[in-house]
Chain A
Amino acid sequence: MLQIKNLNKSYPIGDTSLHVLKGINLSVENGEMVAIMGSSGSGKSTLLNIIGMLDEADSGEYILDNLPIKNLTEKKAAVYRNKFLGFIFQSFNLINYKNALENVALPLYYQGMKRKERQELAMFHLEKVGLANWAHHLPKELSGGQKQRVAIARALAANPKLLLADEPTGALDTTTSHEIMAFIQQLNDEGKTILMVTHEEDIANMCKRIVRLRDGIIIEDKKVNQVRAEQYV
């Protein structure tokens, strides 16, 4: 599904530059659920952004689904993002003047899908996250957990190969976090490959594999026994 070889990334800071990723090697198989952990500044978000084609590596290889991701034009990157990737953000990043249904339908809009089809599909995904009754509510009328579920529905809408989550529970209380994690686990059970950045140990343990980063290098990469989130809900 995903191969990364000797990935390097540095950010210029004034005259010097900050070397954030120093030769990352990572390979993720289909159906895996990987947590990327590390303290802040360890480079975990940068790695996720590069995987998400939101950012570009300075050197190294990145192959997504047998497709080398290199020197992409903005347009191409946009198309790939739309086709291959679903994003879940810490702060949900819903568009606040669009209702839940429209938010979910947005990636499909950029796919060029017809309005009616799009809305039906979006509705289907909203039902899946249990928010069909909230379809016409604006994000401000939803609770944090509901917002994140809308965001998950949006990430799923385009049926991506890989789901990328950046601290998906970072802005949620424990109970809601577990709800969301249970949901993400369920998605993984259904076969979705999931990559998530977190700094919470218990959340990471709900994944199947933990990759630890420190100062731009992977210091640990191990499979774990998945803790099911349902038991806490």
Chain B
Amino acid sequence: MFKFLFDRDTWQEVFDSFNKNKLRSILTMVGVWWGILLLIGLLGSARGLENSFNRLFGDFATNSVFIWSQNTSKPFKGFQEGRRVRLSLTDAQKVEENVNGIEFVVPRNQNQATVVRNFLSGTFSLGGDYPLLDKVEKKKLIHGRFINQSDISDRKKVVVLSEDVYKQIFEKDEKAIGQYIQINNINFKVIGVFEVSNISMGPRIDMHIPFTTFQQIYNTGDQIGWMTITGKPGYDIVQIEKDAKLLLKNLNDVNPNDNTALRSANAAKEIGRVTGFLTGMQFLTWFVGVATLIAGVFAIGNILLITVRERTKEIGVRRALGATPFEIKRQIVVEAVFLTLIAGLFGIISGGWILIGLDAAFGQGDDAVIVNASVSIAVVFIALLLLVILGTLIGLIPAFKATSIKPIEALREE
């Protein structure tokens, strides 16, 4: 049945009729080319944006919330307003014990510190952290390891550095693991180097030391700077956030209606907003792309209809010479599919170029707006399939038109 597709003559006919109407065929194909170019370009950029957001949130538990304390804005239980609320380890523990659906509570501390090694130095943020942090905010370690439980128990003077710190105080390609550096004049052993993630929820920490070590050095006692809470799968992180904050207000004698004493940032909410936007954009992209595509295919159908009209006589001659109506129809449908497919392939290729261009212009570096703008092979195949189907359907109209004219009428036409 499809043997004719491998027949040189079929394609000879297609090329002949293409060559005959070169300019018009090309102009028609521009419609389809443009449609598929838009589809690929838009889908690729949407994917690029999505990738960049994913990279932003990737290392990061999306069902997490940060809670930190500030000054009260309402008097409560004899306390004046404007009191600085300080969260403590006990608070964190109570939250973990009492709030429903909690997976982890990670108490954290933070300070600025000067780091010195040989003659190189810099000022970076220093965090006192538990090993659990790695679960909540995945650290991409380039070398070594993250803080472990034994570091915590022994209050070891070990530090995990960000790439930025490493670059600042180490020579290029120098081995950092096992080296000693001075943080606020205290010697720390480097146990790991991590890649900086683009995530900007909560303060950025460049040097992680064990929580207990931090407690000792800065004499913070029970105090914590903030806590990161993650919810178990299936629990609403917004509810957890509310429950935890209410509990914390209770524990710290804060008016339940005080909106400033405890601050929080809910990652899920922010991410949800962004992903919702992305989904909407993808839908829009498909809609625009496919609509343009259909318009382009219709243009091809329209042109073929005109061509068929002009070729009425030729078709009449062919039928007089023994072409069956099926052969005529088949030829016209093949032409339609061929035109759409070629235009589509060019569209896909130039869409790819656009994506390459976008990548070159906006896709480089760590804070790229569009990351790896691309379309999947599946999308390309769907688009091609769509082209073939639309091409066939639209080709059928002129095909039936062509054979609905009796050969005698076709020949009579001068």
| A-to-B contact residues, CB < 8 Å | 49, 52, 54-55, 74-75, 78-79, 81-83, 87, 89, 91, 93, 95, 97-98, 106-107, 109-111, 115, 154, 158
Q: In angstroms, how far is the closest chain A Cβ from the Cβ of B331?
A: 11
Instruction: Confirm or deny: B407 has a beta carbon within 8 angstroms of a beta carbon on chain A.
Output: yes
Q: Which of B358-414 contact A (CB under 8 A)?
A: 403, 406-408, 411, 414
Q: In angstroms, how far is the closest chain A Cβ from the Cβ of B53?
A: 54
B411 lies within 8 A of A89 (CB):
yes
| Main DSSP-derived SS at the B contact region | helix
Contact of A78 with B323 at beta-carbon distance under 8 Å, contacts A95-B317, A97-B17, A106-B318 already known: yes
Q: In angstroms, how far is the closest chain A Cβ from the Cβ of B327?
A: 7
Give every chain A residue within 8 A of B411 (Cβ-Cβ). Answer: 54, 89, 93
Q: In angstroms, how far is the closest chain B Cβ from the Cβ of A27?
A: 23
Instruction: Confirm or deny: B320 has a beta carbon within 8 angstroms of a beta carbon on chain A.
Output: yes
Give every chain B residue within 8 A of A154 (Cβ-Cβ). Answer: 321
Give every chain B residue within 8 A of A89 (Cβ-Cβ). Answer: 317, 411
A75 lies within 8 A of B317 (CB):
no
Q: Which of B318-350 contact A (CB under 8 A)?
A: 318-327
Closest 5 pairs (CB-CB, A-B): A82-B322, A110-B322, A78-B324, A54-B408, A97-B20
Count of chain B residues near A, Cβ 8 A: 26
* 0/1 interface trace, chain B 4-24, chain A, CB 8 Å (1 if under): 000011000000110110000
A98 lies within 8 A of B408 (CB):
no
Give every chain A residue within 8 A of B327 (Cβ-Cβ). Answer: 78, 110
B17 lies within 8 A of A87 (CB):
no
Can you name 6 A-B residue pairings with CB atoms under 8 Å? Answer: A54-B408, A55-B408, A78-B323, A78-B327, A93-B411, A158-B322
Instruction: Confirm or deny: B236 has a beta carbon within 8 angstroms of a beta carbon on chain A.
Output: no
Contact of A111 with B324 at beta-carbon distance under 8 Å, contacts A49-B408, A54-B411, A93-B317 already known: no
Q: How far is the CA of A54 from the CA of B9 in the complex (A)?
A: 25
Contact of A87 with B325 at beta-carbon distance under 8 Å, contacts A54-B411, A115-B8 already known: no
B406 lies within 8 A of A54 (CB):
yes
A54 lies within 8 A of B407 (CB):
yes
Give every chain B residue within 8 A of A98 (Cβ-Cβ). Answer: 16
Q: In angstroms, how far is the closest chain B Cβ from the Cβ of A163?
A: 13
A74 lies within 8 A of B414 (CB):
no
Q: How far is the CA of A98 from the CA of B19 in the complex (A)?
A: 11
Q: How far is the CA of A49 from the CA of B316 in the complex (A)?
A: 12
Contact of A52 with B320 at beta-carbon distance under 8 Å, contacts A91-B414, A109-B9 already known: yes
Instruction: Confirm or deny: B313 has a beta carbon within 8 angstroms of a beta carbon on chain A.
Output: yes
Q: In angstroms, how far is the closest chain B Cβ from the Cβ of A217?
A: 21
Q: How far is the CA of A106 from the CA of B403 in the complex (A)?
A: 18
Q: How far is the CA of A83 from the CA of B408 in the complex (A)?
A: 18
Chain A minimum-CB-distance residue to B12:
A102
Give every chain A residue within 8 A of B320 (Cβ-Cβ). Answer: 52, 54, 81, 87, 93
Q: How far is the CA of A52 from the CA of B313 in the complex (A)?
A: 16
Give every chain B residue within 8 A of A158 (Cβ-Cβ). Answer: 321-322
Q: How far is the CA of A111 from the CA of B324 in the complex (A)?
A: 10
Give every chain B residue within 8 A of A54 (Cβ-Cβ). Answer: 319-320, 406-408, 411
- Of the candidates A55, A75, A83, the one whose C-beta lies within 8 Å of that of B324 is A75
Told that A75-B325, A81-B319, A81-B320 touch, could you supply 12 new A-B pairs with CB distance under 8 A? A52-B320, A55-B406, A75-B326, A78-B325, A79-B322, A79-B324, A91-B414, A97-B17, A110-B318, A110-B324, A110-B327, A115-B8
Give every chain B residue within 8 A of A52 (Cβ-Cβ). Answer: 320
Q: In angstroms, how far is the closest chain B Cβ from the Cβ of A170?
A: 12
Q: How far is the CA of A79 from the CA of B406 in the complex (A)?
A: 15
Give every chain B residue within 8 A of A81 (Cβ-Cβ). Answer: 319-322
